[in-house]
């Protein structure tokens, strides 16, 4: 007990947590998680909860997977870190090859980094320099969508369109042209997906007709605006955007940091629409949720624009100290092997169908609005049964729901006015039922309180 108190005190005194109002830190008994096992985490007091946020959307096969642990330990017997600037190493080489074998066709070149935001930064810089290297100096601006989220570094948040997270840094951001959020457009059209897709593509084409000469690239999240609250696009947005970008000579970047590695029910959402992006950003599930690793995959023709005699200085000037860390690469390689061996995706598709079925219960409840789902991720909006509106921002009622859920054994987090469900891909049918039941009870109890 004394040790626990000491840790809590030090945490409060020294640890500045991300996306956290530290003035309220500790109010809702934040867990100090000491260990994980399979789909569960345990705090320092031994309390257990199902990890229904996949440790921020990245865990794939559960915690302490014997194969992933062994791959990490085996690499640790060799070396923990060496640089890939002017050298290479076996796990990095094998992983680069492995990723190109599973990625959409033509993505033959892999640039490693550490986090999703950085995979986007790398895509931004590659795209910008691609046109510079080709002598197209007039290509200077990016095209993105409202409510996009691509990470929190200055470049990635320039592309983001989230007033709450991104507005305060507006004066630092590079200028970006914006299209409407496909999901919001669909809401305005009474939920008509086909009309929304056609209308969105029309607005893209209008924009490209006007300014494609100056546009470097369009960037879209893969199939869903995740951080904006799990807002799925109408089907066809990605395929249509890819086609228009090709026609108007604008690069197409797809950010599958959240949707990639099985979350959509296929390995990459791009497969579902037959899309071959020019650049693909990957992160989160790439290392099975073990270590910070990300990658930007490029089409051969993009890569080729960086090849020139040394003296022309056309190489890609980018890199970090820990780029392609061997431990992270070794565990990511084993993650790919697990995907290949276990036919994980067919069980993921069964869980996706089960989740869809189970979510229907929330549609008629007085304390929730219609849930949203994309693959194995969902958001259930919390509503005040008196009046049916969201609770005011700052009321933190969503946090109170999550605290109740955790006490009942399910670890969840709010996102805006919703509670999100993003379990590891290894979640079982019984665990999906448990998540839905505990969430429903917690919402009912909290809104009655």
Ligand X SMILES: *Cc1c(COP(=O)(O)O)cnc(C)c1O
CB 286 within 8 A of CB 119: no
Q: Pairing relation of β-strands 40-43 and 176-179?
A: unpaired
Among all residues, whose Cβ is closest to ligand X? 116
Q: Which segments of 79-213 are extended strands (E)?
A: 107-113, 141-145, 176-179
Q: How far is CA 208 from CA 35, 218, 245, 291, in A?
A: 50, 10, 8, 39
Beta carbon nearer to ligand X, 204 or 257? 257
The least CB distance from residue 211 to ligand X, in Å, is 25
Strand partners, 49: 41
- Is residue 413 part of an annotated ligand binding site? yes
Beta carbon nearer to ligand X, 147 or 221? 221
Q: Does 258 bind ligand X (CB under 6 A)?
A: yes
Number of residues that bind ligand X (CB under 6 A): 15
Q: Does 255 bind ligand X (CB under 6 A)?
A: yes
Query: Rounded to an integer, what distance in angstroms lies between the CA atom of residue 292 and that of residue 105?
Result: 26
Choose, by CB under 6 A, the member of 126, 227, 267, 380 that binds ligand X: 227
The least CB distance from residue 185 to ligand X, in Å, is 19
Choose, by CB under 6 A, the member of 226, 229, 265, 326 that binds ligand X: 226
Which of these segments, 20-28, 116-124, 303-311, 437-445, binds ligand X (CB under 6 A)?
116-124
Phi, psi at 73, each rounded to 5°? -65, -40
Please choose, from the candidates 21, 28, 25, the residue with its C-alpha nearest in 3D space to the C-alpha of residue 10: 25
Buried b (16+ CB within 10 A) or exposed e, 39-54: bbbbbeeeeebbbbbb
Query: Rounded to an integer, what distance in angstroms lies between the CA atom of residue 371 and that of residue 13?
Result: 38
Residues 96 to 115 in contact with ligand X, rule: CB under 6 A: 115
Beta carbon nearer to ligand X, 226 or 277? 226
Which of these segments, 123-131, 253-261, 381-389, 401-409, binds ligand X (CB under 6 A)?
253-261
Q: Does 221 bind ligand X (CB under 6 A)?
A: yes
The least CB distance from residue 294 to ligand X, in Å, is 6
Choose, by CB under 6 A, the member of 196, 257, 330, 355 that binds ligand X: 257
Q: Does 117 bind ligand X (CB under 6 A)?
A: yes
Beta carbon nearer to ligand X, 258 or 330? 258
Q: Does 339 bind ligand X (CB under 6 A)?
A: no
DSSP states of 329-364: HHHHHHHHHHHHHHTHHHHHHHHHHHHHHHHGGGGG
- Is residue 416 part of an annotated ligand binding site? no
- CB within 8 Å of 290: residues ≥ 6 apart: 68, 72, 328, 331, 335
Which of these segments, 76-84, 143-151, 237-245, 392-400, binds ligand X (CB under 6 A)?
143-151
Q: Does 155 bind ligand X (CB under 6 A)?
A: no
Beta carbon nearer to ligand X, 41 or 258? 258
- In eight-state DSSP terms, residue 234 is P
Choose, by CB under 6 A, the member of 182, 262, 283, 414 that binds ligand X: 283
Please choose, from the candidates 191, 337, 355, the residue with its C-alpha nearest in 3D space to the C-alpha of residue 265: 355
- CB within 8 Å of 27: residues ≥ 6 apart: none
Query: Rounded to an integer, what distance in angstroms lies between the CA atom of residue 272 and that of residue 234?
Result: 13
Interface residues with ligand X (CB under 6 A) are 115-117, 120, 149-151, 221, 226-227, 255, 257-258, 283-284
**Residues in the annotated binding site:** 116-117, 149, 255, 284, 319-321, 413
**Residues in the annotated binding site for pyridoxal 5'-phosphate:** 116-117, 255, 320-321
């Amino acid at each position: 007990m004394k040790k626990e108190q000491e840790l809590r005190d030090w945490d409060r005194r020294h640890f500045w947590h991300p996306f956290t109002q530290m003035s309220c830190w500790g109010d809702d008994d934040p867990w100090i998680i000491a260990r994980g096992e399979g789909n569960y985490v345990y705090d320092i007091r031994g309390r257990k909860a199902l990890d229904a946020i996949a440790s921020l959307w990245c865990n794939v096969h559960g915690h302490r997977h014997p194969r992933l642990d062994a791959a990490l330990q085996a690499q640790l017997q060799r070396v923990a870190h060496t640089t890939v600037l002017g050298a290479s190493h076996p796990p990095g080489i094998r992983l680069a090859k492995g990723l190109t074998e599973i990625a959409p066709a033509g993505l033959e070149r892999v640039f490693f980094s550490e986090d999703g935001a950085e995979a986007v930064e790398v895509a931004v810089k590659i795209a910008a320099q691609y046109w510079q290297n080709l002598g197209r100096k007039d290509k200077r601006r990016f095209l993105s969508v409202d409510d996009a989220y691509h990470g929190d570094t200055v470049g990635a948040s320039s592309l983001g369109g989230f007033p709450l997270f991104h507005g305060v840094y507006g004066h630092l951001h590079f200028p970006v042209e914006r299209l409407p959020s496909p999901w919001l457009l669909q809401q305005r059209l009474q939920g008509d997906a086909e009309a929304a897709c056609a209308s969105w593509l029309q607005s893209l084409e209008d924009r490209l007709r006007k300014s494609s000469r100056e546009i470097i690239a369009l960037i879209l999240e893969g199939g869903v605006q995740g951080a904006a609250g799990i807002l799925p696009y109408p089907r066809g947005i990605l395929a249509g955007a890819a086609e228009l970008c090709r026609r108007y000579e604008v690069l197409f970047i797809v950010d599958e940091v959240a949707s990639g590695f099985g979350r959509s029910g296929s390995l990459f959402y791009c497969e579902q629409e037959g899309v071959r992006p020019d650049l693909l950003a990957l992160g989160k599930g790439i290392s099975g949720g073990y270590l910070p690793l990300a990658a930007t995959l490029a089409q051969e023709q993009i890569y080729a624009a960086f090849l020139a005699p040394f003296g022309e200085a056309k190489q890609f000037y980018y890199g970090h100290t820990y780029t392609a860390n061997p431990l992270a690469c070794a565990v990511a390689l084993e993650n790919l092997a697990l995907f290949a061996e276990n036919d994980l995706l067919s069980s993921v598709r069964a869980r996706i169908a089960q989740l869809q079925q189970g979510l229907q219960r929330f549609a008629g409840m007085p304390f929730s609005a219609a849930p949203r789902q994309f693959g194995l991720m969902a958001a259930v909006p919390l509503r005040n049964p008196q009046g049916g509106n969201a609770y005011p921002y700052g009321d933190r009622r969503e946090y109170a729901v999550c605290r109740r859920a955790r006490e009942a054994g399910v670890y969840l987090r709010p996102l805006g006015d919703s509670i999100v469900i993003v379990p590891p891909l290894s979640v079982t049918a019984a665990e999906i039922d448990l998540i839905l039941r505990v969430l429903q009870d917690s919402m009912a109890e909290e809104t009655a309180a």
